[in-house]
């Protein structure tokens, strides 16, 4: 088993003998076996143990046991405690998801702070099978049907070449002690129901089904690669990312024979659920103007496009004042925007080329403080090159901006007069002329 373990690490390029590897050790049979194999294989390792405080004294028992393991094997140990239930409640997620988030965030922190190349977790073939079944129930798409990967970023899974039975046999044959999590035998959680009810039933039908699954995962990963190559080709054909605003060509989407799969892969990452995806698909041939909202994004069914925008930062952004004394002292962040504001002299060789990202103004014509805010109905501007006011709403129509795009526009005003609808139109009132001595340059860095 030790040779298989070493060969698996080498064949899948998981680690080298010079690497520092952090081992996620819970104290259970799987992680104890992994620790023993790593030490016997001669790798440089340390232990990370997370106490979620979910099982009362049993949680403290596990921590004490893992500390004893570290002492037995002569390796460093890092222990972190969390109020997992409180974190789950604060973030409105399940206990299982909270534990996972906290655990992997702690691994990342330890790797960054202590120079570890990777973190090894003790997932085995049975875990991969259970994850497949969970993803099948949840409807995660093809990506969730490929099993666990041997390497995911800095997380490695060197035990994926073993079944749970092989690990238990190793523990018994080498007389290794471990602790048992009694909740593994309960059926309260979905994974445990699969482990204790579904998997044994499959085993009755086919005693070697775990190995059959492992082979299927290899094929599915190749299928996934082919599938996502096609999705990427169609993205290049149908989707445009304009500074975070995603536009999907409806006509091209309607002509694509695998429309449903494509929409799932494009829209699901933005938080749209199955019911919404079905409603969006049904809206493709309907009237424009329908809006769908996930927790993080908003989708507008426009005349020619599905337009997706991020809701997050500037949804509730308050107006921000720019005083003269903060100019040139670092970037200014407002919602989804990051501005660089500086003052330059108006010399013959100065480059005053404007664009959607940069605007120039005569410093002496400006009244401070300037204000950054959202667009409001009734706003007007004297567009560059003109003398009369024009409604911004009309300018937005001229530029064919969607409802969502209009909501995201940052407005910069001076003394109540709009000088720039960022990325759309600058005003004529404070423009730079030959008599200008100092120029205020504002650049949108995002």
> Do 410 and 431 share a domain, yes or no?
yes
Q: 328, 341 in Cβ contact below 8 A? A: yes
Q: Check whether residue 7 and residue 65 sit in a common domain.
A: yes
Structural domain includes residue 230: no
Position 67 in a domain: yes
Q: Is residue 225 part of a domain?
A: no
* Omega within 30 of 0 (cis) for the link into 175: no
Amino acid 186: pLDDT: 47
CATH of the domain at 42: 3.40.50.620
Q: Same structural domain for residues 203 and 273? A: no
Neighbours of 255 (CB within 10 A): 10
Q: Are residues 18 and 164 in the same domain?
A: yes
Sign of CA dihedral 353, 358, 363, 367: positive
| Residue at which a domain ends, from 169, 185, 219 | 219
Is there a single domain that holds both residue 324 and residue 289?
no
Residue 166 structure tokens: 């092989």
Range of the domain at 106: 2-219
Same domain flag for 45 and 185:
yes
pTM for the whole structure: 0.60
Same domain, 107 and 78: yes
Residue 21 domain flag: yes
Same-domain pairing of 66 and 128:
yes
Q: What is the pLDDT of residue 183?
A: 54
Distance of CA 394 to the CA centre of its chain: 37
What is residue 427's DSSP assignment?
B
At residue 365, the pLDDT reads 95
The predicted-structure confidence for 356-370, as pLDDT tens digits, reads as follows 889 999 999 999 999
Q: Are residues 324 and 399 in the same domain?
A: yes
Under 8 Å between Cβ of 429 and 418? no
Same-domain status, 159 and 31: yes
Domain count, the chain: 3
Whether 393 and 341 map to the same domain: the answer is yes
CA distance 116 to 21: 6
In a domain, 231, yes or no: no
Question: Which residues of the chain carry a pLDDT beneath 70?
Answer: 181-189, 243-244, 312-317
Per residue in 77-112, pLDDT tens? 999 999 888 888 888 888 888 888 899 999 999 999
Last residue of a domain, one of 187, 219, 251: 219
* Domain end marker among 284, 311, 338: 311
Rounded to an integer, what distance in angstroms lies between the CA atom of residue 188 and that of residue 171? Answer: 27
- Please say whether the beta carbons of 359 and 442 come within 8 A: yes
Whether residue 374 contacts residue 314, with contact meaning beta carbons closer than 8 Å, is answered with: yes
73 shares a domain with 156: yes
Is residue 305 assigned to a domain?
Answer: yes
């Amino acid at each position: 088993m030790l040779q298989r373990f070493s060969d698996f690490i080498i064949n899948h390029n998981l680690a080298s003998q010079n690497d520092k590897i952090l081992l996620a050790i819970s104290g259970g049979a799987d992680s104890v076996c992994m620790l023993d194999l790593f030490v016997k294989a001669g790798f440089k390792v340390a232990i990370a143990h997370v106490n979620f405080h979910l099982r009362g004294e049993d949680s403290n028992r596990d921590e004490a046991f893992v500390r004893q393991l570290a002492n037995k094997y002569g390796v460093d140990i890092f222990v972190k405690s969390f109020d997992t239930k409180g974190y789950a409640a604060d973030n409105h997620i399940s206990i299982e998801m909270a534990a996972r988030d906290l655990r992997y965030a702690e691994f990342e922190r330890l790797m960054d702070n202590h120079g570890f190349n990777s973190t090894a977790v003790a997932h085995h073939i049975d875990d991969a099978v259970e994850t497949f079944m969970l993803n099948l129930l949840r409807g995660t798409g093809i990506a969730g049907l490929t099993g666990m990967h041997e390497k995911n970023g800095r997380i490695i899974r060197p035990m994926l070449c073993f079944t749970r039975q092989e690990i238990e046999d190793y523990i018994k044959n080498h007389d290794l002690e471990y602790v048992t999590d009694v909740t593994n035998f309960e059926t309260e959680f979905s994974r445990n129901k699969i482990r204790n009810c579904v998997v044994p039933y499959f085993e009755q039908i086919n005693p070697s089904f775990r190995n059959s699954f492992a082979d299927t995962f290899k094929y599915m990963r190749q299928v996934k690669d082919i599938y996502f190559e096609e999705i990427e080709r169609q993205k290049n054909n149908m989707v445009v990312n304009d500074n975070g605003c995603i536009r999907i060509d409806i006509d091209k989407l309607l002509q694509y024979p695998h429309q449903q799969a494509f929409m799932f892969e494009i829209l699901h990452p933005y938080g749209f659920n199955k019911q919404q995806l079905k409603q969006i698909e049904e809206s493709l041939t309907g009237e424009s103007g329908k809006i769908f909202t996930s927790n993080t994004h908003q989708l507008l069914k426009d005349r020619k496009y599905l337009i997706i925008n991020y809701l997050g930062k500037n949804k509730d952004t308050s107006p921000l004042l720019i005083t003269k004394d903060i100019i040139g002292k670092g970037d200014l962040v407002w919602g989804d925007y990051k501005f660089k504001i500086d003052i330059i002299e108006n010399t013959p060789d100065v480059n005053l080329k404007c664009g959607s990202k940069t605007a120039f103004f005569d410093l002496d014509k400006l009244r401070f403080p300037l204000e950054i805010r959202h667009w409001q109905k009734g706003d007007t501007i004297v567009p560059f090159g003109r003398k009369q006011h024009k409604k911004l709403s009309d300018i937005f129509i001229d530029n064919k901006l969607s409802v969502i795009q209009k909501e995201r526009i940052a407005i910069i005003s001076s003394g109540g007069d709009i000088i720039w609808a960022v990325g759309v139109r600058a005003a004529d009132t404070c423009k730079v002329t030959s008599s200008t001595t100092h120029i205020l340059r504002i650049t949108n860095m995002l």
